[in-house]
């Protein structure tokens, strides 16, 4: 069965600092992985996806993630945080008939 | 192209009542999935409908049901509401259905249900 684990329920960074949100997956088959972002009182917006093509995936808003099979990881990064990046971020793995989500990481950005 | 539309955005009900939530998928999408989001349990899969057929159901009691119409719009119904049903209910639409690995799910803004 597939699962994802997000390390750190809260991450705080200063504006302009590197953002690193961690996600580790467990899957018995080659995984399809996703990062979604949720702003307050909104639904989920797809940031990026890994579907077994390039291991470095670029998404919207300057985010990217690298698939590392040896580490079973799919961490999300952004070189320079912006105040507007403050939100909750969810890593997800494709299950047989559904998306399986991690518990989420709330990102705070301080001026 | 319009995104996924969920109505209403907010609902307040009392215990024992029933509620119906609506989801209009992106034009051309035939699959609609429903998820429940709570602070304690996170995002949990409820069910998926594809071409008017329920294809998969999560681990929820029978009080939770849904249907899909020929125009792909979907409704979710919860009967005999309990306090624990308070949650954000998210609908996601996709083109090919959740069984397709590369299929992407696009989410609506959700319906926030409060049960008093």
pLDDT digits (tens, 9 = 90+) for B24-65: 999 999 999 999 999 989 999 999 999 999 998 999 999 999
Is pLDDT of B98 > 90?
A: no
Place of tokens 């399809």: A32
Nearest to A97 among B55, B102, B106 (CB): B55
**Does B39 contact chain A (CB < 8 Å)?**
no
- Name chain B contacts of A99, Cβ cutoff 8 Å: 33, 35, 43, 45, 92, 98, 105
CA distance B58 to B34: 10
Q: Give the three-class secondary structure for A60.
A: helix
**Predicted pLDDT at B113:** 97
Report which of B102, B2, B99, B110 is spatially closest to residue B50, judged by C-alpha positions.
B99
Half-sphere exposure of B53 (CA within 13 A, CB side): 4
**Predicted pLDDT at A1:** 80
**Predicted pLDDT at A75:** 97
Peptide bond into B72 cis (omega under 30): no
* 8 A C-beta contact, residue A76 and residue A91: yes
**Predicted pLDDT at B14:** 97
**Predicted pLDDT at B81:** 97
Split at pLDDT 50, 70, 90, the class of B96 is confident
Q: Give the three-class secondary structure for B107.
A: strand
pLDDT mean by block of 10 residues, chain A; 111 residues? 92 97 90 93 92 88 94 96 97 88 96 94
CA distance A17 to A12: 10
CA distance A95 to A29: 10
The alpha-carbon gap from A53 to the nearest alpha carbon of chain B, in Å, equals: 11
The alpha-carbon gap from B100 to the nearest alpha carbon of chain A, in Å, equals: 8
């Amino acid at each position: 069965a597939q699962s994802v684990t997000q390390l750190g329920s809260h991450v705080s960074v200063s504006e302009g600092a590197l953002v690193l949100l961690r996600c580790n997956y467990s899957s018995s088959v080659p995984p399809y992985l996703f990062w979604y972002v949720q702003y307050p009182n909104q639904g989920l917006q797809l940031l990026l996806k890994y579907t077994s093509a390039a291991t470095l995936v670029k998404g919207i808003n300057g985010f990217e993630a690298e698939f590392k099979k040896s580490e079973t990881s799919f961490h999300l990064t952004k070189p320079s945080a912006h105040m507007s990046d403050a939100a909750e971020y969810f890593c997800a793995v494709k299950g047989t008939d559904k998306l399986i989500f991690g518990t989420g990481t709330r990102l705070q950005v301080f001026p | 192209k319009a995104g996924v539309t969920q109505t209403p955005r907010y609902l307040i009900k009392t215990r024992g009542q029933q509620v119906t939530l609506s989801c209009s998928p992106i034009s051309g999408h035939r699959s609609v999935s429903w998820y429940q989001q709570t602070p304690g349990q996170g995002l949990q899969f409820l069910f998926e409908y594809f071409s008017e057929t329920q294809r998969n159901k999560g681990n929820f009691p029978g009080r939770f049901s849904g249907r899909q119409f020929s125009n792909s719009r979907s409704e979710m119904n919860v009967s005999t509401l309990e306090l624990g049903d308070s949650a954000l209910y998210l609908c996601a639409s996709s083109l090919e259905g959740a069984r397709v690995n590369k299929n992407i799910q696009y989410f609506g803004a959700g319906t926030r249900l409060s049960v008093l």
